[in-house]
Structure 1
């Protein structure tokens, strides 16, 4: 399939849609590479620096390819902000450029949609919290008029508990057997997905689709993964699992709550089965408490997480056996119920029995994996959650094996793109290792922005080392930040690597700061961002959420302060397991794992500052290790070529000389 993609990126073509458009060689090159990869069924990794215009560079060739080959192209992103940009800005522009009305849809996880059956059952039974009593009428009005039934479109009050009772659950859905199937919000949306040229999803939904044997989204074989730097980790987590004491208790209580009436057991036909199952659940509740007590004794948590390296004694499988016997009893009831009437009540009963049976089977599977410890490629750990008992966690060690077994061979072509995929100047090896041995072409497209002219990189001096003098470093940070805020008169992001550090600095500075500080720790990410954007000369304190995916152009963001180099905590269980494997191979875990990831994150953090050709400002790195450690030069070499200054006096002078654009 041959096409002159360049013709769609001429100034004449795009000027009508984007008055400020300037032709970019990098954008045209990326568009050509994307179309070529689709046409030849090849995979492509492309790092496109900020300002390349990568969204249009893949949307236009994807739309052309989709229309000509009559196939769906899926675009996956990590952040909602990019999804919004694609759907509300880039897709309409692409349609004007192509002068064609191709179909573009967004796919959301099923729990984003109201389930009419669950809503009706909840209202009819009165099974909703008292907090909803005064709000049901307005919810009804919305539900009566909505075209999509999407949770985020409802702007009035509804409690989280209410939403959980009225939104779709994948394992509690009658599907085509439901009397509401023809008017189901979710299934009507799925029909739109099937007929789309471009289907926009997020990474978590895409990963769930892959982990769920490709049953969630419509069939597709051409995929663009934007913000691809974190996708392998998201995929690994999706193939992992977490289990709490409360998860199992909730499943048991769904069947029968000891000493109370109710539960699905009341729908059973045989009295003998009911009494037998009640006794089984009583015994299993005791085993459940005993299991988690033994787990706590065998694996005491010294930090927030504790990796389980050895095979545990625990209860030698007693809890698994007890849960398995309950599942067998449920299976017998499901078989008996299949011969009952074909009414909705009977179908709902079978569905609920199957749902709780599947959930118990999932719990058994995790318990067995933890007890047996047979899978060498599985990381197992405990995670403190603030409850009585810790959370059991399992996750595959390597994302590469998941790609090999579950992705390679299923796709004709995958485009991996981001502004931060390299771990060095021209090195994709760190990212490619996460994908495994898949054939892939590479392309590096540098940003067209003039960083040397428009940005300053300040490497602060005389701060103490956070790795050896943590408290002293924190004091130094608290003293320096007000000077940096005064320099730009606010309009600053301060990026931290931990909530503890962020909260400590916020407590020390917020009351007496000349400039209002909005902290993610105090307000949460959404309210902190909203307050920052609405308030003049403001400051935002944030952790991981604000290192990436935030696009603020113009003078509202003139300074980004990176407090500490973003190294992953060494006690992270998956990192620890990967470190052990690298040591066995006589490789350096720091150079192979921690440094490449820190470089990617630093590039993301720096990337918040310059979002257009007229943006100017300063990035300050307060961590002295950027100068004192040998790896510091590797990090600096990977960052955009800003003017480097080393003293506050130099910084003030350089800042005063930055260009003033109208």
Structure 2
């Protein structure tokens, strides 16, 4: 079968330089002529971003494209991505922060389909989803085979569907619980090389489909980094990489790449996973004595290691990852567990070589892969006494993670130094216009940048309340003062508010303190329900107040329900292992980690939080920051995170709860946020530059 014809660049050009010039002209035609004919408004912020991004891609640069909400970032990068992919004859990769964003971009009715229709272009875009989203035929066959395991009744529906489905994708059965799905889903421990279904199973078919994309491959950050870290090894082993060769990569929600990049480069040791495997091995009828002895030794070593590990953690309620205090005792326990796992691995290999059939080949190979992965993690941890890695304990499942400490160096080596165009697109990449913190974090040594504010009229849509500097009192005395201001604000707005704190314990503290006030509007507390449920209730009840520490991003509530955004506490970073590693790196260079790590982290998260208020051009509202900003060391960073051009008041009495956000009152204490920022811009230069 012949390959499909490669789509043509949507404009005529002669040579590389002419392509760059014609691309800019085509982008201008689309934004100034084509889209307005279909009812789209001309947004200069969007057009500027598109031009800057196109120039960087054509020159093979790493580019940070920061654009505020409502600027149309997606269309801005899609035009260049499609044209450049066709110019190079290879697809461009769009890496998103989640499966939901993948669907919004490349699913039915998504942005790519809309753009394709508007331009009259047949854009070939395909989604590359995590293979864990597909069923494993070998697992399904095993569950259907009563010789190995009798399926639970809850699996009946899934197994019936598995026999009929063509794609075998989880989205076809979204109501299936994680516990059930894990029993049928592909996982990295499956030995696909020897599987009877190799080459035509569901994940392979999905991979073959997206690898054939002519214009765009839309994946999540995890899949991209899976490919990046395994690419050279897979090629050396004669295997195809997870992604084909690509012309460029664009990270949508680029500020979120650090954690998936680290986790996909790291290794995990999961106590529950190991224990379930050991339990299954213990139940083997007629098992060899040496295998059972290895199981017992591994069980004891695992229990001891995790007991010492969990007694060595430093927990911070604000983080999903706990810092680990590394000690000789912990290192010795890790080494003992590693040796026990190595002995178990040897016995599992013997089991397979002797063809004793005590376990199915699929199950046996899966166990070998699990053991090998844990051994690799413990070896990394033990090397140089853990000084070359970042380790943590995951809050949710208590698993032990070991990731490279030099993540930025790895990213530079495997991605940025290749001369491939790389774009980070996000509304939150800089702090007060400075991209250096994020660039250092991801290992970018040289880049171009563009930054545009939101296309919304913040001077007309947003009021900002910044109280004058708090009285010089002890920190604990600020709580009643802030609480009084919170109550006054909520009464003025009759609810309709989102209150953001920096810790779950602070939510509980506010909840208890508000009991003495007779407030007539309903409160939705973070710990009182599932996140999606709380957000739905908040949208439905326009007088409600949502209070939590986990709503700084990922919440979209346009209109009347969210008219007031209260920043109860500035979001200074927690004691998180990844952030602690950056602090140590700065200290090693004899620089200040507070100003070079904590302040930028706070500024980025504050900017994300402020973005919750204005979601459409019709929205009006106020942002009230109840923690001191003016006159504080972090003033410049905090002011830079607030909506540009918003008008500032210093008294609650000067706020207008009608959401108009405009007009002046004689005698009121108001100033432009831009004026405040300009006053702070005379500060000393960044020590990194």
The alignment's TM-score, normalised by the length of structure 2, stands at 0.81
| Structure 2 equivalent of residue 456 of structure 1 | 463
CA–CA separation in structure 1 for the residues paired with 2:347 and 2:302: 18
Quote the offset at 1:219 in angstroms: 3.3
Q: Distance in 2 between matches of 1:174 and 1:578?
A: 38
1:368 aligns to what? 379
Q: Of 627, 632, 636, which aligns to 1:633? A: 636
Q: CA deviation at 1:372?
A: 4.2
**1:436 alignment partner, one of 443, 466, 478:** 443
Report the Cα offset of residue 209 of structure 1. 2.7
CA deviation after TM superposition for structure 1 residue 568, in Å = 0.9
Deviates more, 1:613-622 or 1:404-413: 404-413
Please report how far the alpha carbon of residue 605 of structure 1 lies from its aligned counterpart in structure 2 after TM superposition: 1.0
CA contact (8 A) 1:82 1:549 kept: no
**Matches of 2:296 and 2:385, distance apart in 1:** 31
2:504 to 493, 499, 513: 499
Change (3 A) 1:275 1:404: same
Matched, 1:40 2:59: yes
Question: Is residue 70 from structure 1 mapped to residue 89 from structure 2 by the alignment?
Answer: yes
Looking at structure 1, the residues matched to 471 and 296 of structure 2 have their Cα atoms a distance apart, in angstroms, of 58
Task: Name the structure 1 match of 2:410.
Answer: 402
- The aligned runs of 1:199-238 (5 Å cut-off) are 199-213=217-231, 215-238=241-264
- Matched residue of 1:360: which SS? helix
1:519 maps to 525
Of residues 514-523 and 108-117 in structure 1, the stretch that sits farther from structure 2 once superposed is 514-523
Q: 1:220 to 1:336 in 2, by over 3 A?
A: farther
Q: Secondary structure at the match of 1:314?
A: helix
Q: In structure 2, do the counterparts of structure 1 residues 577 and 536 end up closer, same or farther at CA, with 3 Å as the change threshold?
A: closer
Equivalent position SS for 2:110: helix
The corresponding residue for 1:617 is: 621
| Contact 1:310–1:373 (8 Å) recurs in 2 | no
Assess if the C-alpha contact under 8 Å between 1:112 and 1:151 holds in 2.
yes
In the alignment, the residues of structure 1 paired with residue 28 and residue 117 of structure 2 have an alpha-carbon distance, to the nearest angstrom, of: 14
After superposition, what is the alpha-carbon deviation per residue over 1:557-600, rounded to whole angstroms, capped at 9, x for unaligned? 2221111111112x333333432332232211111100011111
Residue in structure 2 matching 1:314, options 329, 332, 337: 332
Q: Distance in 2 between matches of 1:145 and 1:365?
A: 39
Separation (CA, whole Å) in 2 of partners of 1:97 and 1:614: 25
Do 2:431 and 2:641's aligned partners in 1 also have CA atoms closer than 8 Å? yes
Q: Which moved more, 1:59-68 or 1:4-13?
A: 4-13
Pairwise CA distance, 1:211: 3.0
d(CA) in 1 for partners of 2:445, 2:469: 46
Aligned-residue offset at 1:51: 2.2
Give distance in 2, aligned partners of 1:315 and 1:605: 42
1:592 and 2:610 aligned: no
Matches within 5 A, 1:261-340: 261=284, 274-293=288-307, 295=309, 299=312, 305-312=322-329, 314-315=332-333, 317-337=335-355
Q: Which residue of 2 aligns with 1:174?
A: 192
Moved more, 588-597 or 98-107: 98-107
* Residue 188 (1) aligns with residue 185 (2): no
**What's the offset of the Cα at 1:435?**
2.8
Q: Over the residues paired in the alignment, what is the CA RMSD in angstroms?
A: 3.3
Partner SS state of residue 652, structure 1: coil
2:444 and 2:33 map into 1 onto residues whose CA distance is: 43
Confirm whether residue 102 of structure 1 aligns to residue 123 of structure 2: yes
Does structure 2 conserve the Cα–Cα contact (< 8 Å) formed by 1:51 and 1:447? yes
**Alignment map for 1:504-583 (pairs within 5 Å):** 504-506=509-511, 509=514, 513-544=519-550, 546-569=551-574, 571-583=575-587
Q: Distance in 2 between matches of 1:200 and 1:159?
A: 26
Deviation at 1:529, TM superposition (A): 1.7
Per-residue CA shift, 1:154-210, capped at 9, x if unaligned? 254x3432211111113215368434853x332222122112222222223323332
Q: Distance in 2 between matches of 1:366 and 1:532?
A: 43
Structure 1: distance between partners of 2:186 and 2:521 = 45
Three-state SS of the structure 2 residue aligned to 1:505 is helix
Deviations 1:324-372 (A, max 9, x none): 12212223344455xx9xxxx99x9444333222221222233333344
Specify whether residues 206 and 287 from structure 1 end up closer, same or farther in structure 2 by C-alpha distance, changes over 3 A only.
same
Question: Please, which runs of 5 or more residues in structure 2 have no aligned partner?
Answer: 1-15, 233-240, 664-689
Relative to structure 1, the CA distance from residue 520 to residue 124 in structure 2 (aligned partners, 3 Å threshold; closer, same or farther) is farther
Deviations 1:456-477 (Å, cap 9, x if unpaired)?
11124687899x535x544444
**CA shift for structure 1 position 147:** 4.5
- Tell me the distance in 2 between the aligned counterparts of 1:113 and 1:469: 52
Query: How many residues in Structure 1 have an aligned counterpart in Structure 2?
Result: 622
**CA–CA distance in structure 2, aligned partners of residues 295 and 195 of structure 1:** 46
TM-score, normalised with respect to structure 1: 0.84
Q: Assess if the C-alpha contact under 8 Å between 1:244 and 1:392 holds in 2.
A: yes
CA distance in 2, matches of 1:465, 1:242: 47
Distance 1:436 1:275, change over 3 A: same
Alignment partner for residue 14 of structure 1, among 3, 20, 35?
Answer: 35
Instruction: Tell me the SS of whatever aligns to 2:655.
Output: helix
For the residues of structure 2 that align with 1:384 and 1:612, how far apart are their CA atoms?
36
What is the rounded CA distance, in whole Å, between the counterparts of 2:380 and 2:52 in structure 1?
A: 44
Matched-pair contact (CA < 8 Å) for 2:31–2:47: no
Cα deviation digits, residues 25-60 of structure 1 (max 9, x gap): 222232233333333322211111222211000112
Give 1:447's aligned residue. Answer: 454
Deviation at 1:430, TM superposition (A): 0.8
C-alpha contact (below 8 Å) 2:195/2:362 kept by paired residues? no
Structure 1 Cα separation of the partners of residues 71 and 192 of structure 2: 47
SS at match of 2:624: strand
Superposed CA deviations along residues 380-403 of structure 1, whole A, max 9, x for unmatched, are: 3456668xxx64333333431121
Q: Distance in 1 between matches of 2:316 and 2:621?
A: 39
Q: SS where residue 366 of structure 2 aligns?
A: helix
CA, structure 1 residues 475+200, in 2 after alignment: closer, same or farther (shift >3 Å)? farther
Change (3 A) 1:593 1:361: same
Question: Which residue, out of 368, 373, 378, partners 1:357?
Answer: 368
Over 3 Å counting, the alpha-carbon distance change for 1:51 and 1:302 in structure 2 is closer
Q: Is the 8 A contact 1:579 1:589 kept in 2?
A: yes
- Whole-Å separation in 2 of the counterparts to 1:656 and 1:38: 41
**Residues 493, 657 of structure 2: 8 Å contact kept:** no
Give 3-state SS (helix, strand or coil) of 2:123's partner.
coil
In the TM superposition, what is the alpha-carbon distance from 1:631 to its structure 2 partner?
1.7
Secondary structure of the residue that 1:644 maps to in structure 2? strand
Residue aligned with 1:490, SS = coil
Deviations 1:239-298 (A, max 9, x none): 2334243333233334x12xx445xxx6xxxx7xx222112222332333344445567x
* Cα displacement string for residues 420-470 of structure 1 (whole angstroms, at most 9, x for unaligned residues): 111223x2111111232543222222323221121111124687899x535
Counterpart for residue 682 of structure 2: none
Counterparts of 1:473-492 in structure 2 under 5 Å? 473-492=478-497
Structure 1 alignment gaps of length 5 or more: none
